[in-house]
Amino acid sequence: MDEDKGRSGRIDRVLVGEPITAGGRMIQPVARAGGWYGGGGDERGRGFGAWLRVVPLEVRVSDPNGDEYTVSITDATGDAVRRIAVMGLLVAAVSALLLLVGLLRPRT
């Protein structure tokens, strides 16, 4: 049986949802889908997998009088996790520096 090299690639798409009418306004969500996919096979079988992340970007709003605007969506959880990670790295770096200073300090 010939070896199947399979396919793999990157996913990067902007997804626009179906418009929803609420209170006279038309609301349309917009998100970004990103990730990787890949697969292949040989004489033992085939496989395929993907990693995908969908992040909301904005909401498009159309008023009954014809005005259109967008409302950006911020990722508050992602921002908080990044801040926590930076603080953890900072604490680890300071701790390592203090340990190094303690080890290099001459003993009396």
Does residue 85 have a pLDDT over 90? yes
Top mean pLDDT of 7-11, 14-18, 48-52 is at 14-18
pLDDT of residue 4: 52
Q: What is the pTM of this model?
A: 0.60
Confidence of residue 6 (pLDDT cuts 50, 70, 90): low
Q: How high is the mean pLDDT of the chain?
A: 89
Provide the total of helices (H) and of strands (E) in the chain, helices listed first: 1, 5
42-65 residues labelled b (16+ CB within 10 A) or e (exposed): eeeeeeeeeeeeeeeeebbebeee
Q: Report the share of the chain in percent with pLDDT over 90.
A: 64
Whether residue 29 contacts residue 41, with contact meaning beta carbons closer than 8 Å, is answered with no
